[in-house]
Amino acid sequence: MSAPYKILLTENEIPRNWYNIQADMPNPTLPPLHPGTKQPVGPQDLAPLFPMELIKQEVSKERFIEIPDEVREIYKLWRPTPMFRAHRLEKLLDTTAKIYYKYEGVSPSGSHKTNTAVAQAYYNKMEGVKKITTETGAGQWGTALSFACNMFGMECDVYMVRISYDQKPYRKAIMNSYGANVYASPSDRTQAGRNILASDPTTSGSLGIAISEAIEMAVQNDHTKYALGSVLNHVLLHQTIIGEECLLQMEKAGDFPDVVIAPLGGGSNFAGISFPFLRQNLLHGKKVRAVAVEPASCPKLTQGEFRYDFGDSAGYTPLLPMYTLGHNFFPAAIHAGGLRYHGASVLCSQLLRDNLIEAVAIQQLECFEAGVAFAKAEGIIPAPEATHGIAQVFREVQKAKEEGTSPTILFNLCGHGFLDMQAYQDYFDGKLHDHVLTQEDLKSGIKDLADYPKI
Ligand SMILES: *Cc1c(COP(=O)(O)O)cnc(C)c1O
C-alpha cells in the first residue's frame, strides 16, 4: 500500500488537553513589569482587561490544561484538521526528504486564530462578559473573534485599522456576517480616536491606535473585556492543539519529524505546532529541530535584542522580556501583514535565548516563489505568512540534497490565502520588493528604550 496523502483523525481523537510548556522549560520566563514602577505586575493589574481564568493560564505551571467540553464541541466544526503528506511537492522538488504539512486553513476564518478565539470567548462568557473588543490589522484575528463571539451569543466590537478597512471590504463583510460591529480606527467612539482625528482627520490609522481604542472601550464599559490574538502565553497555549494532533497523526503515519517549521509573527502558530514536539525533546530525549521563520523586513529573532519592551506600539501594555526591534520599529509594508510585529512572544523568546529553538529570516520574494510552487504542486494557495514556512522547507530540502540525507519535515500551513490575492497579484505584476535593513533601521525602534531594563 502506498503512503496516504491525508492523515486524518476522528472527532473523538481531538486532544482533551492543551500543553503548557511553562511546566517543562529549563529556565522560567522573566515576569512582566509595570512601566512606571518597573516592578512585576500581578493578576489584579490585568483583571480589567481579561477574565481571571485566562490570567491564571498566563502564569500557570501545570503541564496540561483541560480543554472545556464546550470548546471541544465548537472545535468539531473544523477539527481535527488534516495533516497531509506532500507527495506532489516532494516530486516537484525531486527530493528523498519526506514532507508533511498541517493545514489550519480549513477553519471557518481560514487560519489557526480560531483555535484561541473560541477558547477566549468561552472563558469570557463563563465570567459574565457580554462584549469583547479587539483590534484587527490584516483582518484574520477580527474574523476569528467575530466567529467565536457569535458562537457564544456575545457582542464583538472590532477596531479595524482605517487603511485595511478601506482596502479589504470583504474582511469587514465576513465579520459583519458573524454579527460583529466593525469600526474604522481611529473612530469618534473613543477619546483616543477623537484625539487623533482632531489632529489628523485623514489619518490611515495604525495597529497601535486601534489597540488603544479597543482597550479604552473595555476598561470603561461594564461586562466588556478585551482579547488579543497572539503573543500572550494563554494564546500560545490554546494553539498547542495543532501540535498535539500532529503527534497523533505522525504516529498514524508511522513517522516522526526531524524538523518542525512555522512562520512567526508573534509566535502563536509556531508555538502551536512546535511546543508539543519540544516536550518530546525536553522529557523524552528526542531531538526535533523547531525552526521559526520571520520576514527579513521584521527580523526580531535574528537581529533584535533580548530586553524588556512594550507589547504594543502605543506603550500601554506591561513591559515584556522578549526579542524585539523596539515598539517604535516600523516595518516596511510587506504583504504578510500578520508577521509585521516588532517583538516575539515571551515564551518563544526565552526558548530561543536557551537555544531550544532556531530562527531564520527570509525575504518576501523567495517566500512568494515558494508559495506559488507549493500551490502548483499541492493545490492550496497559502496565506502570505505561511509562505515563509514553505520557503524554509525548500531550504531544508536543498541542504538535505547537499548532505545526502532524507529528513522528515513537518510545517504549519497556518492559513489559506484566498483573501490575500492582491498580494499574489502584486507579486505577479513585479510590484513586490525585498527590503534590506540598514543598521540605522535596526536601531530605530530600540533607541527609545534606553530607560528600560536590558537583560
Ligand atoms: C496572525 C497570523 C500569523 C502570525 O501570527 P502568529 O501569532 O505568529 O501565528 C501567521 N499566519 C497567519 C495565517 C495569521 O493569521
* pTM score above 0.95: yes
Q: Is 338 in the pocket of ligand 1 (CB under 6 A)?
A: yes
For 103, residues 6+ apart whose C-beta sits below 8 A from its C-beta are 81, 82, 83, 84, 380, 413
Residue-wise pLDDT tens digits, 101-111: 999 999 999 99
Average pLDDT in the 241-265 region?
98
Cα of 159 vs centre of ligand 1, distance in Å, is 18
* pLDDT value of residue 141: 97
* pLDDT value of residue 137: 87
Q: Is 311 in the pocket of ligand 1 (CB under 6 A)?
A: no
Q: Is 383 in the pocket of ligand 1 (CB under 6 A)?
A: yes
Cα of 268 vs centre of ligand 1, distance in Å, is 7
Q: Which three cell numbers stand for residue 82?
A: 488534516
Between 38-42, 90-94, 289-293, the lowest mean confidence (pLDDT) is in: 38-42
Residue 448 has pLDDT above 80, yes or no: no
For ligand 1, atom 5, name the residue with the nearest CA.
Answer: 265
Q: Which three cell numbers stand for residue 347?
A: 515564551
Cα of 332 vs centre of ligand 1, distance in Å, is 17
Residue-wise pLDDT tens digits, 420-431: 999 999 999 999
The SS3 call for residue 184 is strand
Please compute Rg for the chain using Cα positions: 21
* pLDDT value of residue 138: 84
Residue-wise pLDDT tens digits, 269-328: 999 999 999 999 999 999 999 999 999 999 999 999 999 999 877 777 899 999 999 988
Task: Give, in order, the Cα–Cα distances in Å from 287 to each of 138, 284, 356, 395.
Answer: 35, 9, 10, 20
Burial class (CB in 10 A: 0-12, 13-18, 19+), 455: exposed
Q: Is 233 in the pocket of ligand 1 (CB under 6 A)?
A: no
Cα of 38 vs centre of ligand 1, distance in Å, is 30
Q: Which three cell numbers stand for residue 26?
A: 529549563
75 confidence band (pLDDT: 50, 70, 90): very high
Average pLDDT in the 115-134 region?
98
- Please tell me the number of Cα atoms within 13 Å of 304 on its side-chain side: 38
Atom of ligand 1 nearest to the CA of 113: 15
Average pLDDT in the 154-178 region?
95
Hey, how many other C-beta atoms are within 10 angstroms of the C-beta on 13? 14
Answer yes or no: are the C-beta atoms of 411 and 263 closer than 8 Å: no
43 confidence band (pLDDT: 50, 70, 90): confident
Answer yes or no: are the C-beta atoms of 385 and 265 closer than 8 Å: yes
| Residue 447 DSSP label | G
Scored b (16 or more CB within 10 A) or e, 152-161 reads: bebbbbbbbb
Pocket test for ligand 1, best of 104, 239, 268, 349 (most atoms within 8 A of CB): 268
Atom of ligand 1 nearest to the CA of 111: 13
Average pLDDT in the 150-159 region?
98
Cα of 398 vs centre of ligand 1, distance in Å, is 26
* pLDDT value of residue 200: 92
Q: Which three cell numbers stand for residue 95?
A: 527530493
Pocket test for ligand 1, best of 339, 347, 380 (most atoms within 8 A of CB): 339
Residue 9 has pLDDT above 90, yes or no: yes
The sign of the CA dihedral 255, 260, 262, 268 is positive
Answer yes or no: are the C-beta atoms of 266 and 345 closer than 8 Å: yes
Q: Is 274 in the pocket of ligand 1 (CB under 6 A)?
A: no
Residue 1 has pLDDT above 70, yes or no: no
Cα of 338 vs centre of ligand 1, distance in Å, is 5
Scored b (16 or more CB within 10 A) or e, 87-107 reads: bbbbeebebebbbbbbbbbbb
Answer yes or no: are the C-beta atoms of 141 and 451 closer than 8 Å: no
Helices then strands, counting H and E runs in the chain, come out as 19, 15
Q: Is 239 in the pocket of ligand 1 (CB under 6 A)?
A: no
* pLDDT value of residue 272: 99
Pocket test for ligand 1, best of 101, 102, 112 (most atoms within 8 A of CB): 112
Q: Which three cell numbers stand for residue 389?
A: 514556512
Q: Is 415 in the pocket of ligand 1 (CB under 6 A)?
A: yes
Between 20-34, 313-327, 361-375, the lowest mean confidence (pLDDT) is in: 313-327
Q: What is the residue-averaged pLDDT of the chain?
A: 95
Answer yes or no: are the C-beta atoms of 247 and 255 closer than 8 Å: no
For ligand 1, atom 1, name the residue with the nearest CA.
Answer: 338
Between 40-44, 50-54, 259-263, 404-408, the lowest mean confidence (pLDDT) is in: 40-44
Kindly state the percentage of the chain with pLDDT values over 90. Answer: 85
Residue-wise pLDDT tens digits, 384-422: 999 999 999 999 999 999 999 999 999 999 999 999 999
Instruction: State how far the Cα of 342 lies from the Cα of 314, in Å rounded to an integer.
Output: 12
Closest C-alpha among 109, 113, 89, 110 to residue 101: 89
Q: Is 268 in the pocket of ligand 1 (CB under 6 A)?
A: yes
Strands 83-85 and 6-7: antiparallel
* pLDDT value of residue 206: 86
Nearest 5°: phi and psi at 308? -75, 135
Closest C-alpha among 41, 24, 13 to residue 308: 41
Cα of 453 vs centre of ligand 1, distance in Å, is 28
Answer yes or no: are the C-beta atoms of 272 and 243 closer than 8 Å: yes
Residue-wise pLDDT tens digits, 186-238: 999 999 999 999 999 999 888 888 998 999 999 999 999 999 999 999 999 99
Atom of ligand 1 nearest to the CA of 110: 13
In the chain the domains, ranked by start, together with CATH numbers, are 6-14+69-110+234-448 (3.40.50.1100)
* pLDDT value of residue 335: 84
